[in-house]
Amino acid sequence: MLCLGSFAWAESSPFVKGVAIGHHTAIKPAKLNKILREIKALGADSVSMVVAWSTPDVRSTSISPRKDYSTSTSKLVEMIKLAHARGLKVLLFPIIDVQKRKPLEWRGTIKPKSWDDWWKSYQRFILHFASIAAKTKVAMLSVGSELVSTEEMVGRWTTLINRVRKVYKGKLLYSANWDHYRPVKFWKWVDQVGLTAYYSIAKTNDASLEQMVKGWELEREKLRKWSKEMGRPFIFTEVGYPSLDGGAVNPWDYTQSTPLDLEEQRRAYAAFVKAWSGQSILAGVFFWDWYGPGGEEDKNYTPRNKPASKVIEGWFKAPKSP
């Protein structure tokens, strides 16, 4: 019989070694158990479970579960139980899926007809997952991800966070976009600072490991200054590179029509490890993501069954990791 876990990340917690599980609407227990075994075998201690509700477009005020896309409550509870049974901590990571998008539109450009109505809908969305987080005692809950157009609305965010804390007593995180973390005005109201990491670390499609490391070092110094200003470390909630030629040049763009390149993905992971090992400003990482079959013909982000997975395993299992 599976039992619900009870985990918490304290301020003095060790480095979080995490892997994200992407949109997982219909993962059956046997398949999920296989995925979790593989993640555990990498040396990971945590998983980010990404769950999504949808909004019709960036102007809509409605956020709701979408049939055959959004994970049901019962399925999500079952998934969290399975992760806990494997000894893995869980970050519950709700995101908004924008169904119809024009060029350059995404969740970061949401601009509804009525902010009052949008925030009511968003509060319902987050409180739904806060209730699940409380029931299953996950280690951490994200209250938002990459919502660039809302990040200066301090009053709205603090009201939401206070309501979430009445439901869920664990750690709260917000995940900023990789290029928009300074404008966030409510960092002091969350327990953990998070941001994605889709930085361009190469200028050419055939960049060497050393060139990628230098690319990371430039960004790392900016992040170090910001972290010291806040007096807090941060977690990378998403670090990933598509298995494409140029995947390290534009890692946010998985739609590139370039050839498969597993070796570039491996070098990009190796550059991340080399640039970030032993850096005290980084409190943890979730690699993006362990979803789909992966393998030598897969162009997507997943490092599953690819050379990049060996880089993760080597880092997570290193004697002084990370």
What are the angstrom distances between the C-alpha of 58 and each of 151, 184, 253?
A: 16, 20, 20
Q: So what's the pLDDT on residue 28? A: 82
pLDDT band with cut points at 50, 70 and 90 for residue 26 = low
pLDDT band with cut points at 50, 70 and 90 for residue 13 = low
Of the given ranges (2-11, 64-73, 99-108, 276-285), which has the lowest mean pLDDT? 2-11
Q: Mention every residue, 6+ apart, whose C-beta is less than 8 A from residue 170.
A: 8, 133, 134, 137, 138, 139, 140, 141
Of the given ranges (12-21, 136-145, 226-235, 272-281), which has the lowest mean pLDDT? 12-21
Which domains does the chain show, CATH number per domain?
16-316 (3.20.20.80)
Radius of gyration of the chain (CA): 19
Task: Answer for the pair 140, 129: CB distance below 8 angstroms, yes or no.
Answer: no
Q: So what's the pLDDT on residue 97? A: 94
Which tokens is 274 given?
């080399």
Peptide bond into 289 cis (omega under 30): yes
Residue 236 has pLDDT above 50, yes or no: yes
The single residue listed with the structure tokens 């909004």 is 55
Which tokens is 36 given?
């979790």
Beta-strand runs (E) in 165-278: 171-176, 192-196, 234-239
Once rounded to an integer, what is the mean pLDDT over residues 89-98? 96
DSSP 124-175: HHHHHHHHHHHHHT-SEEEEEES-GGGTT-HHHHHHHHHHHHHH--SEEEEE
Q: So what's the pLDDT on residue 34? A: 94
Residue 79 has pLDDT above 60, yes or no: yes
What are the angstrom distances between the C-alpha of 60 and each of 52, 53, 93, 154?
A: 16, 13, 22, 21
pTM for the model: 0.93
Q: So what's the pLDDT on residue 10? A: 40
pLDDT band with cut points at 50, 70 and 90 for residue 311 = very high
Angle at 120 between CA 115 and CA 126, to 5 degrees: 115
* % of the chain surpassing 90 pLDDT: 87
pLDDT digits (tens, 9 = 90+) for 179-225: 999 999 999 999 999 999 999 999 999 899 999 999 999 999 999 99
Q: So what's the pLDDT on residue 254? A: 86
pLDDT digits (tens, 9 = 90+) for 145-192: 999 999 999 999 999 999 999 999 999 999 999 999 999 999 999 999
Mean pLDDT for the chain? 92
Once rounded to an integer, what is the mean pLDDT over residues 111-133? 98
Once rounded to an integer, what is the mean pLDDT over residues 249-273? 94
Torsion over CA: 244, 250, 251, 252 (sign): negative
pLDDT band with cut points at 50, 70 and 90 for residue 27 = confident
pLDDT band with cut points at 50, 70 and 90 for residue 6 = very low
pLDDT band with cut points at 50, 70 and 90 for residue 3 = very low
Q: Mention every residue, 6+ apart, whose C-beta is less than 8 A from residue 82.
A: 2, 29, 32, 33, 36
Three-state secondary structure call for residue 72? coil
Angle at 251 between CA 245 and CA 254, to 5 degrees: 75
Residue 5 has pLDDT above 80, yes or no: no
> How far apart are the C-alpha atoms of 298 and 201, rounded to whole Å?
22
Once rounded to an integer, what is the mean pLDDT over residues 284-313? 95
pLDDT band with cut points at 50, 70 and 90 for residue 88 = very high
DSSP label at 70? S
User: Which residue stretches of 42-106 are H helix?
Assistant: 73-85
Beta-strand runs (E) in the chain: 16-21, 46-55, 89-98, 140-145, 171-176, 192-196, 234-239, 282-287
Which tokens is 32 given?
């999920």
